[in-house]
Structure 1
Amino acid sequence: MKRSLLVSIVSSLFLLIGTGVGFYCLHDYYNGNEVDATSSLGEKVQTPTESDKSTDLKSIIHETQKSVVQIEAQLKDDDTSSGSGFLYNTTGDVITNAHVVDGAEKITVKTSDAKQFEAQIIGMGDTTDIAVIRVPGLKETEPLVVAEERMAEVGDEIIALGSPLGLQNTVTTGIISGLDREFILEPYRYEHIYQISAPITNGNSGGPLIDADTGEAIAINSAGTDSGAIGFSIPLPNVIDEIKGWSEEPVEITVDSEGHEVIVTPQGLTGEDYKDNATYLIGYFYESLSTQDYVTAYSLLGSRWQSEMSYEDFRSGYIHTVHVEVSNTTGSLNQTNDEVKVTATIKAEERTEDQKTTTALYNVTYQVGYENDHLKILTGKAQKLK
């Protein structure tokens, strides 16, 4: 009996020891190994890297710039006014500030791809600094997405687009730094507007304030301090009903003898303006390539060049290009003043088949001219530098 009791005690001890060792091993195993989730609720969320955020920001800027225009208004007594605006519907209507176009006898807009059109005022505020101009030449062009109801909050990241001091497609970034600001700049009253940290100055007026996360237009850049360090923007939800009303029932627009809207063709340029637009077009061409927007880049080529090279061949020629920097750009008119020769130095980052990145330098020469009233890149050649 004693022997049987002793065997029972020893067996119990071994069982307790074995159980303890087993629990320890299981704890050590699961504590030191990652368990694959079988439910989507347990899947890891991939946090965007800084590189991903930078790529998204560049894409948002490039896409939204297509709907932003530079505005030049010819006033009485040979005076001029300049500013910015953005396309918000497929009728060709552009939102801007009233102070940009007030008193204008002629309004010209320039798009991001260097096309120029005339515009007419179809609505303008008396004390609210907003206006809508109609550009028949931009009808059916894809507009900017507008946040019609959502208001921004302090700390939201934003992008301000416009043409300060005549420098088209200028970008500044910042945050919403204040809400419900109010002040008066006769004859306009600014109420419940955003204060922003993105620098804006003369020429930014009327340009869009973009939500850096969604790419939507949330406000109209309207005023800035003398230093340019603080800006003020009118929230679109506060004025969208008035804007829509002008688009649906224009208060002023020129029509022809048959009652149709006047169709205005782009204006050809000569002299310094022609050279400036031509050099700008080359920069925009390479900006499109840098953001992999091959469709836009290809559309800037003249019809003869396109007939000699399909879109597929064009795209395959740049598919390994990661980024392009343009420098030393100059333009010179030919003897008949109908084309501009643009030369530049190109620094291109290119990805090899083994996924390595190399840098190459090129001297490029392009002929830029009008084709069916649109500025196009007619011919071009590149020479690789050693």
Structure 2
Amino acid sequence: MNQRADWPDGRFGLGEPRGPDFTPPPPPPVWPVAAEPEPAPPIPERAPARKAASRLVVTAILAAALTGGAAGAATGRLTGDRDAAPLAQSAAGPANGAGDLSDVAARVQPSVVSIEVSSGTSRGTGSGFVIDRAGHVLTNAHVVEAGGTVTVVLADRRRVGARLLGADRADDLAVLAIDASASPAPLTFGRSADVRVGDPVLALGSPLGLAGTVTSGIVSALSREVRLGDGDRQTALQTDASINPGNSGGPLVNARGEVVGVNTAIATLSRGGSGGSIGIGFAIPVDRAVDGAQRIIR
């Protein structure tokens, strides 16, 4: 079931996901009709985990957000068989733009993973990235909320089993655990205070199952108010870097390769959620992602 969250102007907002297994949304709610209706604004919606190839077209047009869960509450259980490792966060200040980001992409890509979730006849994919040396992987809660078997596919195509440590459905964050001996190096987090409008950024992940995809853009807005989870509206980074279904949970990085956001939502022009990227994507700000990951791990 999908529900719509409001934009700040009270009209249309985010879609509601069912994890990797999606169902078509019901008709949109009825809003008061003005004497001369204005064109419908873009509808922010989750960049959902990708369906199997046989249902790819259907999946690509559906919104993805979250259902249920108290705001800020984490679900799932910490296994207790590993110590929490500190998350690296930069103090280098704002990252000046660079014309060539190929070196940045090459440094970051090994730490970005694809996530496959299988539950019964349902199969979906999303993205994630390694955040510490204990083998913890950060992703979106809506990527893994259907439950079932979770497999992490590393950049070198190795497949490793993963356990869900916990998920904060209000912030749309989840942490997986993989064998630390098989884990790539973790990414470094930036700081929200150092992010500026116009900063060049890269979005990395597995849109439509295409692992290792890198797209570029800039930070379009710092505090765009949208509903990214089950709680109240929150601020998010807006970017024009192309984000599509399957990018969910992947990192948005700056010109130094530091994580400044977690890709989680896109906007479309249609109320039915059809189409891919139109240059309006949303990412969970880095400070909130760091706090949420640490709460889940602890």
Change (3 A) 1:79 1:140: closer
> Which one-letter code corresponds to 1:215 in the other structure?
G
C-alpha separation between the residues in 2 aligned to 1:185 and 1:236?
A: 14
Aligned to 1:88: 131
Give the structure 2 partner of residue 219 of structure 1. Answer: 261
Which residue of structure 2 aligns with residue 70 of structure 1?
114
Equivalent of 1:61 in 82, 91, 105: 105
Task: State the shift of 1:170 in Å.
Answer: 0.6
Partner of 1:244: 294
1:183 deviates by 2.3
The CA deviation string for residues 24-82 of structure 1, in whole angstroms up to 9 with x for no partner, is: xxxxxxxxxxxxxxxxxxxxxxxxxx9x942xx1111011000000001113x411221
Residues 117 and 66 of structure 1: is their aligned pair in 2 closer, same or farther, counting only changes over 3 Å? same
* Aligned mates of 2:181, 2:250 — CA distance in 1: 17
Pick 1 or 2: higher relative contact order, CA cutoff 8 A, min separation 6.
2
Does 2:171 match 1:136? no
Distance 2:124 2:147 in 1: 8
The answer to whether residue 232 in structure 2 is matched with residue 183 in structure 1 is no
Segments of structure 2 that go 5 or more residues without pairing to the other structure are 1-96, 269-275
RMSD, aligned CA: 2.1
What are the within-5 Å matches in structure 2 for residues 110-259 of structure 1? 110-137=153-180, 141-148=184-191, 150-184=193-227, 187=230, 189=232, 191-212=234-255, 214-226=256-268, 227-229=276-278, 230-247=280-297, 249=298
Matched pairs, number: 194
Aligned residue for 2:227, secondary structure, equals strand
Change (3 A) 1:67 1:150: farther
Kindly indicate whether the alpha-carbon contact (under 8 Å) linking 2:205 and 2:251 is maintained by their aligned counterparts in 1: yes
Deviation digits for residues 205-250 of structure 1 (CA, Å, limit 9, x no counterpart)? 00000102x1101100001123412110001102312211322x3x
Offset of 1:179 from its aligned partner? 2.1
Distance change >3 Å, CA 153–CA 125, structure 1 → 2: same
Provide the TM-score with structure 2 as the length reference.
Answer: 0.61
Task: Quickly say closer, same or farther: Cα 1:105–1:238, change in 2 above 3 A.
Answer: same
1:232-381 to 2 correspondence within 5 Å?
232-247=282-297, 249=298
TM-score by length of 1: 0.48
Give CA-to-partner distance per residue, 1:326-361, whole Å, 9 cap, x none.
Answer: xxxxxxxxxxxxxxxxxxxxxxxxxxxxxxxxxxxx
User: Given that residues 171 and 229 in structure 2 are in contact (C-alpha distance below 8 angstroms), is that contact kept between their aligned partners in structure 1?
Assistant: no
The secondary structure found in structure 2 opposite 1:178 is strand
Conserved 8 A contact 2:205-2:247: yes
Kept in 2, the 8 Å contact 1:159–1:171? The answer is yes
**When you count helix as a share of all residues, which structure comes out higher?**
1
CA contact under 8 A between 2:172 and 2:229: conserved in structure 1? no
| Alignment-mate amino acid for residue 228 of structure 1 | S
> Cα gap change, 1:236/1:185 in structure 2, threshold over 3 Å: closer, same or farther?
closer
Task: Say which structure is richer in strand.
Answer: 1
| Matched residue, 1:358 | none
Kindly provide the amino acid, as one letter, of the partner of residue 238 in structure 1.
R
Structure 2 Cα separation of the partners of residues 124 and 89 of structure 1: 17
| Alpha-carbon shift at residue 138 of structure 1 (Å) | 5.1
Question: CA distance change for structure 1 residues 163 and 146 in 2, over 3 Å: closer, same or farther?
Answer: same
Structure 2 contact 114–126 (Cα < 8 Å) conserved = yes
Q: 1:181 to 1:88 in 2, by over 3 A?
A: same
Aligned residue type for 2:150: I
Q: Runs of 5+ in structure 1 lacking a partner?
A: 1-49, 250-386
- In 2, Cα distance between the equivalents of 1:243 and 1:146? 12
2:148 pairs with 1:105: yes
The offset of 1:188, in angstroms, is: 5.6
Per-residue displacement from partner, 1:248-267 (whole Å, max 9, x unpaired)?
Answer: x3xxxxxxxxxxxxxxxxxx
Give CA deviations for 1:60-113 in whole Å, capped at 9, x if unaligned.
1011000000001113x4112211000010000011000001022110111111
Which AA in structure 2 matches 1:246? I
Q: Equivalents in 2 of 1:151, 1:191: separation in Å?
A: 19
Q: What residue in structure 1 maps to residue 47 of structure 2?
A: none
SS of aligned partner of 2:294 = helix
CA drift at 1:200: 0.6
Bigger radius of gyration, 1 or 2? 1
**Percent of residue pairs bearing the same amino acid type:** 37
Deviation at 1:189, TM superposition (A): 5.0
